Amino acid sequence: MAQIPDNHDRNTIVVKIEDEMRGAYLDYAMSVIVGRALPDVRDGLKPVHRRVLYAKYDRGNFYNKAYKKSARVVGDVIGKSPPHGDTAVYDTIVRLAQSFSMRYPLVDGQGNFGSIDGDSAAAMRYTEVRMAKVADEIMSDLDKETVDFGANYDDSLTEPRVMPSRIPNLLVNGSSGIAVGMATSIPPHNMTEIVDAAVALIDDPSIDTDGVLKFVKGPDFPTAGFAFGGQALRHAYRTGRGNVTMRGKAEIEAFKGDRERIIITELPYQVNKAKLIEKVADLVKEKRVEGISDLRDESDRTGMRIVIEIKKNENANVILNQLYKLTQLQDSYGIMLLAIHNGQPRIFNLRDMIWAFIEHRKDVVTRRTIYNLKKAEARAHILEGLKRAVENIDEVITLIKAAKGPDEARASLMGRFEFSDLQAQAILDLRLQRLTGLEREKIIEEYRLILKLIEELKTILGSEKLVYEVVRKELLEVREEYGDERRTTITIDEATDFEVEDLISDEDTLVSITHTGYIKRSDPREFKSQNRGGKGIRAVTT
């Protein structure tokens, strides 16, 4: 603490600037880490993603309802939540709708939402959105007290702190974000594989990461392509950090007789197609890649197709290796399995990340069962009163007819039959048609079924094993509904670094050495031996 001058205001606290800066920066850093840049391990969402989806849920913008203008959703988010800018919120919506960014898009967009060439989306006033069907699963049972709600920035509304999420969203859609002093980079995966791994973990919680990797082959990128498995990928999943090498899908085909061309139909994840083509063109201009005669983009609405025509007598395999080496046709994805867990950032291995989701689902199922039990018991209480009323219907009607008003009728029923206030009111609200024989049977049957339901719910709550069984059953339903075939091909070949020999065509060459020590390599096709008395074609040049 600094010395306070004699003439200083005694109500003022003097603080060292380095202490103030240190404390303020730590507060800022934690705010960015927990409240902005990193996803929650339970639902895989950052706060802005959660607010966008909740704004759609609150407005009823479901997958089976009409599209709403994007600007309406953006307005809802920035009006009810902390000060996100409208551009940031709309960019979030756009990314959630892009099939080349999300393995399972959470937003169903109508209009121009950008392209793999890096084209930006149309303005928010021109596009329309609604939730994708899979996003409905993220908010399933949100109205059944399954998660905690908290106040928004001005305490005028509440919003969920996490989503119930029936799908393992963090792993199937991945996430990336840069916080203060840390960053997350989680690749997308295949829904079927992640669910199978989760089911195996529920069946046998002792399974380690290597056991989980029997089900999860590796990342499954929305843009397909190839990913190299092997030890590097296994290390990343075991430790939570590492790299995976990606490669586009390229095939060599013959055309015009003896010529060849390279056809690229899939790209590594997050590679801009237009910039890739521009890079190839620059390499040809700079003569760093020789042997390409033509380059064009034939992509259309049916799929991607980049055509690279090779000059006659050039080796297409060598040129393809050069493109892998010098462009993003082969790229790497840094893996960092970092997410928020119990309010703190934590690096997970693959097994623990899946288990954290399972534990979240266990908590959600438990809370939902408790909610359903309360509702069932409240309904059973009413039905018990109605059942006793219809069994003594003549006396009940006489009591009601004799009463001077509703309050007296309620009091008479409560005094005579010991009904509760709720039961008595339900009897007074009973419609006359419910007094027919068939309707009375329905009341009795509903009471029987509700008692059976209460027994089942209590049984589930009394057994942790049964709670996990419900989680398992719902995961299998998710797999049945949304599981699909893997897009990215995983190859165990790890030879992704090219030797010099891989970039040079295997062909005959001619080496000339002069008597003064100069050496030159020449193409044999350009060399012609001179017969006696003949005239030379050209002299040797350096």
What are the catalytic residues?
A: 126
Q: Do 279 and 328 contact (CB within 8 A), yes or no?
A: yes
Are 127 and 112 in contact, with CB atoms under 8 Å apart?
yes
Q: Which residues are CB-neighbours of 346 under 8 A, at least 6 positions away?
A: 41, 338, 339, 340
Q: How far is CA 501 from the centre of its chain?
A: 41
Residue 397 tokens read as: 């009607």
The dihedral over CA atoms of 24, 27, 33, 34, expressed in degrees to the nearest 10, equals: -160
| d(C-alpha 299, C-alpha 264), whole Å | 10
Instruction: Note whether 227 and 244 are within 8 A (CB).
Output: yes
For residue 242, the one-letter residue type is G
Q: How many helices (H) and strands (E) does the chain have?
A: 17, 19
Alpha-carbon dihedral 202, 207, 213, 219, rounded to 10 degrees: 50
- The CA distance from 230 to 226, in Å, is 13
Q: Does residue 314 sit in helix, strand or coil? A: coil
Residues 270-305: b if buried by 16+ CB within 10 A, e if exposed: bbbbeebbebbeebbeeeebebbeeeeeebeeeebe
Which of these, 456, 475, 454, 452, lies nearest to 362 by C-alpha position? 475
**Rounded Cα distance, 2 and 15, in Å:** 7
Q: Which bin fits 536, alpha (ψ -120 to 50), beta or left (φ > 0)?
A: beta
Q: Of 188, 486, 165, 187, nearest to 356 (Cα)?
A: 165
**Widest CA span in the chain:** 141
Rounded Cα distance, 381 and 386, in Å: 9
**HEC letters along 134-192:** HHHHHCCCCCCCCCCEEECCCCCCEEECCCCCCCCHHHHHCEEEECCCCEEEECCCCHH
Please enumerate in sequence order all residues whose Cβ is within 8 A of that of 77, keeping only pairs 6 or more positions apart, or say none: 48, 51, 52, 55, 84, 89
Measured CA to CA, the distance from residue 469 to residue 463 in angstroms comes to 10
**Euclidean distance between CA atoms 272 and 260, whole angstroms:** 25
Q: What is the DSSP string of 329-366?
A: TEEEEEEE-EEEETTEEEE--HHHHHHHHHHHHHHHHH
- Residue 380, Cβ neighbours under 10 Å: how many? 18
What is the identity of the amino acid at 157? Answer: L
